[in-house]
Structure 1
């Protein structure tokens, strides 16, 4: 059995997973691939959320990993699940808002037909990858999301805005290494610049997946303005969250003796 885990050093979940596997003496059974060092390999494999876990080439977890379940898989236990139809949309949306790439791409483009074509990701985040009737259930979910996707974006609006805003603030943290006052953020990063960042940064590498919308597109800019205002209104809380996250990452890194 070949197990590959795609990670990123800034991903808290990745570091917690690696620490768990290290404590269980299971790291020797997996190949850890840093997406920062091997971005094109990650793109080739369709990685849009970390950690992404592949077993014999099949994506089984994306973003949120059941540590104990993965431990069983590594020990040779076969996993089979019955997934409730009524839970599929919630599981998918939870998987989407766990991924900045997925969240931003959906939020800006509102194109669920194209997104649902990322079948491996959909199967992984919903748990359908372990279901015997996964094809039937996937088609059922795909039809729902194509028809009613915008409704679920509205329902998950708070989580979506928090994801986008947190990632923007996190990048400000990385760029400047100290807190920039919110008034300076307003001057340095106007709504138009924020919109450009969100369209280019979210879910695209080079021109792969890139869709540039005109700032004259009222519906797109209206959504982006909501995210922009949310970021400004919650800037201090988001900054504190990012700082605490970085401290945790440093602690996890110091506790582990793993050389990438």
Structure 2
């Protein structure tokens, strides 16, 4: 069994997963692939969020990993799940809001047909990858999202806005290393710049998956403006959360290097 885990050093879930596997003596059973060092390999494999776990080339977890379940798999146990149809949408939307790339792209473009074509990701985040009637359930979910996607985005909008805003503030932290005032944010990153950032960040690398919407496109800009104002109104709280998270990750990295 070949097990690959695509990770990123600034991914909290990745660090927790690796720590868990290390404590269980299972780290030697997996291959760790750093998406920062091997970005094109990650793109080639369709990695949308980290950690992404592949078993014999098949994506089984994306973004969120059930540690105990994964431990059983590494110990040779076969996992079979019975997925309730009523839970599928919530499982999918949770997987989406757990991934910045998925959230940004879907929030801006609202193209549910194209998004649901990312079948490997959908199967992984819903758990359908372990289901015996996966194809039937996937087709049911795809049709449901194409028909009622706008309704589900509206229901999960607050979590999507928080994801987008948190990631914007996180990148400000990485760029400047210290907190900018709200006035500096507004001056350096007015709505138009934020809109460009969101479209590009949701569009993967280069022009692969990138859709640029004109700033005159009313409906799109209204959605982006809502995300922008959410970020502005929650800036202090978001900064505090990001700073705490990043300092914790730095501490973990230092401890790991000291052990090695």
Q: Distance in 2 between matches of 1:27 and 1:258?
A: 18
5+ long unaligned stretches in structure 1: none
Q: Determine whether 1:202 maps to 2:202.
A: yes
Shift of 1:251: 2.7
Q: Distance in 2 between matches of 1:258 and 1:75?
A: 29
Q: Which residue of 1 aligns with 2:166?
A: 166
Q: For residues 3-32 of structure 1, what are the alpha-carbon distances to aligned partners after superposition, in whole Å with 9 as ceiling and x for unaligned? A: 000000110000110011111111100000
The 4+ residue runs of structure 1 with deviation greater than 3 A are 257-260
Q: Which moved more, 1:201-210 or 1:87-96?
A: 201-210
Q: Which residue of 2 aligns with 1:237?
A: 237
Q: Distance in 2 between matches of 1:258 and 1:109?
A: 44
Task: Give the number of aligned pairs.
Answer: 260
Q: Which residue of 2 aligns with 1:86?
A: 86
Q: Which residue of 2 aligns with 1:250?
A: 250
Q: Which residue of 2 aligns with 1:76?
A: 76
Q: Distance in 2 between matches of 1:81 and 1:219?
A: 40
Q: For residues 75-102 of structure 1, what are the alpha-carbon distances to aligned partners after superposition, in whole Å with 9 as ceiling and x for unaligned? A: 0000000000000000000000000000
Q: Determine whether 1:96 maps to 2:96.
A: yes
CA RMSD of aligned residues (A): 1.2
Q: Is the 8 A contact 1:19 1:252 kept in 2?
A: no
Shift of 1:143: 0.2
Q: Distance in 1 between matches of 2:183 and 2:257?
A: 41
- Ranked by relative contact order (alpha carbons within 8 Å, sequence separation 6 or more), the top structure is 1
Q: Distance in 2 between matches of 1:13 and 1:183?
A: 33
Q: Distance in 1 between matches of 2:113 and 2:212?
A: 18
Shift of 1:247: 1.8
Q: Distance in 1 between matches of 2:182 and 2:144?
A: 40
